[in-house]
Chains A and B, each alone.
Chain A
């Protein structure tokens, strides 16, 4: 079977689902963060596939910007996790219930 846009989109969708699974099921902040990264990458894969199959470079440029922003986001997020850990001695979402009623 010839590989077309549909196959790439399927891979991208499945990857997004795995990322979501990580965010919903796992309770460790760092692993939830890895799930977020997986979802980012799923979107990137879909964009690159669209860009390739439409013969248009804009998708690739968007992925370039997404990767840059994601790098900044990871740095800030992990710094937040470390600061949180220093205050509460835990990186588990079950222990971080200050906002709970």
Chain B
């Protein structure tokens, strides 16, 4: 059952990701954004299969919720019709194809050759992971946690400054 679910979610994730960046039917950025949402949601399914329930929830809240709203908001602010008029240059497509296929081949070979996961047994998770995650976050990783909150504040100030009418 879990194997079937894995293949379903993996196929959906890859399909939606491909349609997000290289949709043959539509060049509209809004369509891409919608496929990105679907990718994030199927990835949350993969996280659930990996017993990372908290991260699955965060993935949906932060990526499918907040980040996508930001993306859509910006797309609405800009001119989206422009994208459909442009043509891709043949050179960039060829270069992109070569680099992507090359990288994919290297990754495939590396994962195959290194025999990742050999000797690693799936251990049954004892109880909820979320409690252990929270405990580690507020004891062992307290300093990074606080630093990240400061980072969010800095990002907020930066965004407000950047979106002021007259940049000086």
Contacts and interface: CB of A to CB of B under 8 A. Distances in A.
Interface residues of B, number: 81
Most buried by A among B14, B82, B99, B159: B159
Given A5-B116, A75-B159, A91-B78, A13 B21 contact: no
B117 A65 contact: no
B159 A79 contact: yes
B120 to A, nearest CB: 5
Interface residues on A, range: 35 or more
A52 B96 contact: no
Contacts of B92: 24-25, 27
Contact of B55 (A13, A26, A63): A63
Contact of B133 (A10, A41, A61): A61
Contacts of B159: 75-76, 79
Contacts of A71: 62, 66-67, 152
Interface of A: 1-11, 13-22, 24-28, 30-31, 33-35, 37-38, 41, 44-45, 48-49, 51-55, 57-58, 60-61, 63-65, 67-76, 78-83, 85, 87, 90-92
